[in-house]
Chains A and B, each alone.
Chain A
Amino acid sequence: MSTSLHPVPEAAGEEGYDWRRLHPVTPALRGWKVVAAFLAVIGFQMSDTLRQVADALGPGRAWLVVLGLVVVVAVVGFAYSALAWRVMRYAVTDEAVHLRTGLLFRQQRQARLDRLQAVDVVQPLLARLLGLAQLNLEVAGGSGSAVQLAFLRESEATALRAQILALAAGLGPQAAATAVPAPAGPSAAGAPPQGAVAGAAGVAPAAAPVYEAAPERQVYELPMGRLVHSIVRSVPPWFVVVALVGGVAVGIATHDLGGLFVGVPALLGVGGYVWNRVNTGATFRAAASPDGIRLRHGLTETRTQTVPPGRVQAVRLTQGPLWRGPDWWKVEINVAGYGTEATNESVLHPVASRAEAAVALWLVLPDLGVDDPLATLDAALRGRDDDGGFTPAPARARWVDPLSRRRHGVLVTRTALIMRSGRWWRTVVVVPHERTQSLGLEQGPVQRRLRVATFVAHSTPGPISPRVEHLDEHVAAALLEQQARRAREARAGAGPELWMRTAGADLGGGGQVAGAEPPRVVDPGVSTRPRTVAPSRPSSPSGWWRSPPCSSPSSRSAPPRSCGSPASTPHAPRRGSPRWGRATARWSRRPGTCSGRVVGTCACDATAGGSRSP
């Protein structure tokens, strides 16, 4: 390890890691941030001082001074960025991603791949124009991203993501040794010679194996029209309209429109809100892949998120009063890596139709653990009292919650806990049993008199905090005990952190591979699986949400086979939907890799992040 400002020499890094540098344009992009920040500061904070200085110096020289100052700051900013770039290195090994930063204070960070919670490829506008991208690795704990690689060439970023996901999935070099023989198929043309993968330090980067990105299948996308419509149907714009109308009315009445300017900050605030909604919700697409859920969105700054299987801690579906007419739902998730600040990253679907909400939930939880998931979901979304088998709050709870008492309810399925609440702002929270962290019971003095208690399930930091208010106290206590046991059993049967490790050929949580699509029809002949079965696995070929995607409403009436029939023709490329027909045609089935994952559907034919030589 070198000292001072000298970077670590190539290929001589610690323990022979393959240390790599970020793209050389990085300092230019980062340096501009320093200049922009400086300009913003002097623009907003010191304008008065500047004017005084300018007056003192005279009109001509003032500009020169300002310009000189900006140039100095720019030089310092760019020089610092360049030096920081020189010392910044990253390396990917089989177990971790290493990052070295720090000009004066050296920092070496190691993010363990088996603790990987999410991988995002972010492209801010400027970087996108230059064909660069930023790679964020999210690991639980801490604030912000654990490892942020900015900037890489776009192709490099996606290749690195594929490599990291493959390694995190357990498809690294070691796994290759026991990997299933490659099938004869286009994808496996050059089977996996991963033996020589990342361990080969000193080898020219060109010789490094190329990890193929896991195949993915788009399951829904948000039409722009609906996004705009949904914003119109949200409260803040109407608030401003009402305020404006009121302001104008008052202004006309008093013949003084000056008061309207008070509304400018509010208008700006709402403008920011609307812009944020449009910017993050535009082109929102979700895809299922063996590496988990893949979300793409963003107008100016695009973001591609990959949340591996089993990393979603909780799902929440919410609907405000204005969205009730079109039956739209916002679907959010708790992912340990994103934390509470990343509200834009925690969205699984900004404006989902009922069918898409079911798809979104299915992405997280392929097996809801009930015979008729759609009916259960329906009861959760708009039911009251004991609809759909929910355990509601008792009638005496009306004294503490007269308005939404009848919506409070809880349902325990084989795989998840479903919590329902909210009369006008309807909310449904789903927590998979194996993702339960700790549980709690709370009871205030009034609740105690009414013999009701609140059940709380603690989840990782995020937008969702699951709880059921005002259950009968004995029911709540029983739920607490049973849920503690259920969570324990579910954890024991849960899949490994390395989600593609086929140790027991049983990959829990792997169902995110898109076996099929949500559900219109559920085969009544299919019996539920025994309790001993690990949850969150796609429940067999004849599982519940098995009907083909065709998520567009128009195609819902199509015959079920149109999108490929599960279990029947695993080798045949799917034909129904042109969107993913092309993609799946390229991947043929790899029995071993897929075995527990998708069970008998073509979609699992993916090589799933497996690597192959170019």
Chain B
Amino acid sequence: MTTAPTAPGPSAADPFDLHDVAWTPVSPRLAAARLLVLGLWAVVLLAPTSVLAAVLGIAWLWAVPGVLAALLLWGALLVRRQVGALRYAERDDDLLIRRGIMFRELVVVPYGRMQYVDVSSGPLARRFDIATVQLHTAAPGTDATIPGLPPAEAARLRDRLASRGESRLAGL
């Protein structure tokens, strides 16, 4: 007996929007944090190349900082949308995470498959008052990372995941 996966029909516009799923966005402060990182990169990359071009006085050398600046600007414009696209949803039996605009990804992690949960927060993240929750299963391919959660939400999610994982515990 086999079952063919059937599409719900053309009505569902976006396949990544699973029906009956209430997505929770991450904190917009994540965008601010990432913009700051981009800004640091801009300083690190643009300053020396610009100085080099100015000192040597070669006109075409200005292309390097120019291209870099364009890329960084593009990245800066993208960050906000990327953070906006980063969403998660807790269902009864699994956690959903989706990310990406151009390269989109959707991950379904059953609670019973969770081996452990990490909550981490670097110095920059702490400054912006955000934390990262990462779920680990026995599969290394599972990329279930939710960055940019407010610490309280991260702690709540961690406890919730841990308790749900325990109640649905399964072997490998």
- A residues with CB within 8 A of B: 114-115, 117, 140-141, 310-311, 313, 336, 369-371, 376, 389, 391, 410-414, 434-445, 448, 453, 456, 458-461, 465, 471-482, 484, 487-488, 491, 494, 497, 528
Q: How far is the CA of A478 from the CA of B3 in the complex (A)?
A: 11
Q: Find out whether the CB atom of B7 lies under 8 angstroms from the CB atom of A478.
A: yes
- Does B67 lie at the interface of the complex (its beta carbon under 8 Å from any beta carbon of A)? no
Q: Find out whether the CB atom of B6 lies under 8 angstroms from the CB atom of A465.
A: no
Q: Find out whether the CB atom of B110 lies under 8 angstroms from the CB atom of A481.
A: no
Q: 1/0 per position for B1-38, CB-CB distance to A under 8 A?
A: 11111111110100110100000000000000000000
Q: Which residues of B contact A376 (CB under 8 A)?
A: 2
- Nearest CB on B from A492, distance (A): 9
Query: 6 more A-B contacts (CB under 8 A) besides A411-B2, A436-B110, A478-B8?
Result: A412-B5, A438-B144, A440-B106, A443-B103, A448-B104, A475-B5
Q: How far is the CA of A478 from the CA of B2 in the complex (A)?
A: 15
Q: How far is the CA of A300 from the CA of B121 in the complex (A)?
A: 51
Q: Find out whether the CB atom of B4 lies under 8 angstroms from the CB atom of A458.
A: no
Q: Find out whether the CB atom of B140 lies under 8 angstroms from the CB atom of A477.
A: no
Q: Which residues of A contact B7 (CB under 8 A)?
A: 472, 474-475, 477-478
Interface size on B, residues (CB 8 A): 39
Q: Find out whether the CB atom of A459 lies under 8 angstroms from the CB atom of B15.
A: no
Q: How far is the CA of A474 from the CA of B102 in the complex (A)?
A: 18
- Nearest CB on B from A147, distance (A): 17
Q: Which residues of A contact B137 (CB under 8 A)?
A: 437-438, 458
- Does B166 lie at the interface of the complex (its beta carbon under 8 Å from any beta carbon of A)? no
- Nearest CB on B from A15, distance (A): 26
Q: Which residues of B contact A460 (CB under 8 A)?
A: 138-140, 172
Closest B residue, CB atoms, query A388? B2
Q: Given A480-B106, A491-B170, A461–B140 Cβ distance below 8 Å?
A: yes
Q: How far is the CA of A45 from the CA of B170 in the complex (A)?
A: 50
Q: Find out whether the CB atom of A438 lies under 8 angstroms from the CB atom of B142.
A: yes
Report, nearest first, the 10 A-B pairs whose CB atoms are least far apart.
A474-B7, A477-B15, A458-B139, A479-B5, A437-B139, A458-B141, A441-B106, A473-B15, A438-B109, A528-B1
Q: Find out whether the CB atom of A458 lies under 8 angstroms from the CB atom of B5.
A: no
- Nearest CB on A from B54, distance (A): 37
Q: Find out whether the CB atom of B5 lies under 8 angstroms from the CB atom of A442.
A: no
Q: Which residues of A contact B93 (CB under 8 A)?
A: 484, 488
Q: Identify which of B5, B102, B112 contacts A482 (C-beta below 8 A).
A: B5
Q: How far is the CA of A410 from the CA of B16 in the complex (A)?
A: 19
Complex A-B: 26 CB contacts under 8 Å: A336-B138, A370-B2, A376-B2, A412-B4, A414-B2, A436-B113, A437-B139, A437-B141, A438-B107, A438-B109, A438-B113, A438-B141, A438-B144, A440-B105, A440-B141, A442-B103, A442-B106, A459-B139, A460-B140, A465-B141, A474-B12, A474-B15, A477-B16, A480-B18, A488-B112, A497-B171
Q: Which residues of A contact B12 (CB under 8 A)?
A: 474, 477
